[in-house]
């Protein structure tokens, strides 16, 4: 009898997973290509929740709406960003990473650009970072956007950038980016959300636009398949040289720290189960 129940449960789970993959594929195919001038730009103060297209909301990696801070949703070729006009930072940046998106078709541009969806008065520029001592740290990395020219160009929009300790940006944070690429190749797809962590205290700012300097950064990663799993990471915005497992948290812990609800499109029972996980043995960490 137990065997029958297990078989039935496995079948139901396979149906759920298949449905989620179909939903993600459909949603990404339906998001308008930004080259056609139909970029989604909704200011939370000016739009009702229902105004945001369902095709954006239903993408697996998109977090729940934020109600405790300014939010401007911008859909790009390779990622979606929730931008905060007050902090001049993304609240979060989310994207799906697949082996197909890791094909090197385009070279890195290094051409950091003010976001064209913001007015000149409010758009952060590279001048804000000059002599600040901080790197222009990508949230969705350029290395994940070599699959098309537009994706590469948009990865350098300043709404995808945060002031980041240069040692972190070029060291441990980069290693996590590389690990995510290995996981995408291994599992066929991973769903990633990352962004700054701001503690409840006065913040340092840089530049004319007073860009807030984050105290830390978060990243959460979801993999679906026969054995769905999720894992979270928190990195202080300081120099360091530590293995990946030194930064591991459960997604639940990252949600508590950031006050962001991740992967709300998942069935509740699945979300509850995988977001409590933080077993690094479930993930294949590339050798350093």
| Domain 2-282 CATH class label | alpha beta
Beta-bridge mates of residue 73: 42, 82
Torsion on CA atoms 53, 54, 56, 59, rounded to nearest 10: 180
How much of the chain, in percent, has pLDDT values that exceed 90? 72
- Is 169 labelled a binding residue? yes
Catalytic residues: 138
**pLDDT digits over 271-285, tens only?**
999 999 998 888 875
**pLDDT digits over 139-191, tens only?**
999 999 999 999 999 999 999 999 999 999 999 999 999 999 999 999 999 99
DSSP secondary-structure letter at 209? T
For the segment 93-97, the average pLDDT, to the nearest whole number, is 98
Specify the 3-state DSSP secondary structure of 194. strand
**pLDDT digits over 5-49, tens only?**
444 444 444 444 445 444 444 443 333 333 233 344 333 333 323
| Domain map (residue ranges) of the chain | 2-282
Is 80 exceeded by the pLDDT of residue 55?
A: no
Which alpha helices (DSSP H) does the chain contain, by range? 2-30, 54-57, 149-155, 166-170, 172-187, 251-258, 268-274
Higher pLDDT, 10 or 121: 121
Determine the pLDDT at residue 281: 86
Is 90 exceeded by the pLDDT of residue 261?
A: yes
pTM of the predicted model as reported, rounded to 2 decimal places: 0.81
- Token readout for 186 is 């291994």
Q: From CA 90, how far away is CA 64, in angstroms rounded? A: 15
């Amino acid at each position: 009898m137990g065997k029958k129940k297990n078989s039935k449960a496995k079948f139901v789970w396979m149906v759920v997973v298949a449905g989620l993959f179909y939903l993600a594929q459909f949603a990404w195919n339906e998001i308008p290509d930004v080259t056609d001038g139909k970029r989604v730009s909704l200011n939370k103060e000016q739009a009702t929740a229902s105004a945001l297209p369902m095709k954006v909301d239903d993408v697996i990696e998109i977090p729940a709406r934020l109600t405790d801070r300014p939010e401007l949703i911008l859909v790009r070729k390779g990622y979606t960003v929730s931008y905060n006009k007050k902090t001049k930072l993304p609240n979060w940046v989310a994207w799906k990473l697949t082996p197909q998106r890791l094909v090197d078709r385009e070279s890195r541009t290094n051409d950091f650009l003010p976001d064209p969806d913001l007015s000149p008065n409010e758009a952060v520029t590279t001048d804000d970072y000059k002599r600040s001592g901080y790197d222009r740290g990508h949230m969705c990395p350029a290395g994940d956007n070599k699959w098309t020219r537009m994706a590469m160009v948009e990865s350098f929009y300043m709404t995808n950038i945060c002031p980041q300790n240069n040692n972190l940006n070029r060291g441990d944070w980069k290693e996590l980016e590389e690990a995510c690429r290995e996981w995408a190749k291994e599992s066929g797809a991973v769903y990633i959300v990352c962004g700054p962590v701001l503690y409840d205290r006065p913040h340092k700012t840089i530049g004319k636009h007073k860009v807030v300097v984050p105290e830390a950064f978060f990243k959460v990663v979801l993999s679906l398949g026969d054995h769905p799993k999720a894992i979270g990471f928190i990195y202080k915005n300081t120099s360091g040289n530590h293995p990946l497992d030194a930064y591991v948290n459960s997604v639940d812990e990252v949600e508590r720290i950031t006050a962001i609800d991740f992967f709300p499109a998942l069935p509740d029972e699945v979300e509850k189960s995988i977001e409590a996980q933080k077993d690094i043995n479930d993930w294949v960490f590339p050798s350093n």
